[in-house]
Amino acid sequence: MVMNQHYVEWFSGKELPSYLFAESWGGGSYGMAPYPHNGMWLSKSTTNGSGAAISFGATTPYTRRPFSCTASVFHIVVKPSNPVNSRAYIGLSDSKGSITNSIHFTHDTTKTTYELGTFGQTQSGSTAGGAYTVSSLPIDNVRHHHRLESKSASAEYEIDGVLEAIRTETLPKGAMMPHIENYAVNTEESTYNITYLEIYNT
């Protein structure tokens, strides 16, 4: 459900909501999950280079970007199914499949912990581009509630209500939309099950 700049989705139906754009490639897939998991799933296959994603934009110029880079909050409840050789970028970006203007967290099994990433404008003398700040939570296959907040001078990342990371450099520089992507790492299958998504401008 979208009302002005407040988006809420429980993924409780049998079909993907029409206002979300979903795509897959290389044998990846997506769909609505049956009981007992419910929600939506994004899967990559055993094909190296496969994946699946959801966003608000299907084609250039990605005009559906209702969320502020300096005053917005992103909530998601998500569970990874495979803690080996999987990677997801989850948060807000100005275009699907790109993190060049974004605030997001990663579930990346090539890393030790969940990480907060910001990509965009130079801040406080930092170099342009982007970087990551680690959290204290090790990569796992447990359902968590993740919260991102984009502010004028910082970005914050909470996991299950605990503040885990703050960044003040390379913050996003333009309007954004959801960007949730299960991306290929080697040839193992992996699935991300999403049961709640909420985004709003503050």
pLDDT over 80 (residue 38): yes
Q: What is the pLDDT of residues 77-112, one digit of tens each?
A: 999 987 677 889 999 998 877 899 999 999 998 899
**Which pLDDT value is given to residue 28?**
92
In a domain? residue 60: yes
CATH of the domain at 174: 2.60.120.200
In a domain? residue 201: no
Q: What is the pLDDT of residues 4-20, one digit of tens each?
A: 689 999 998 888 888 88
Confidence of residue 2 (pLDDT cuts 50, 70, 90): very low
Task: Give the torsion sign (CA, 134, 97, 148, 61).
Answer: positive
In a domain? residue 8: no
Stretch 158-181: mean pLDDT, rounded?
A: 95
**Which pLDDT value is given to residue 180?**
96
Across the chain, mean pLDDT equals: 89
Write out the residue range of the structural domain in which residue 101 sits: 17-192
- Collapsing DSSP to helix, strand or coil, 121 comes out as coil
**Which pLDDT value is given to residue 141?**
92
In a domain? residue 2: no
Q: How many domains does the chain have?
A: 1
Q: How many CB atoms lie within 10 A of CB 193?
A: 19
In a domain? residue 1: no
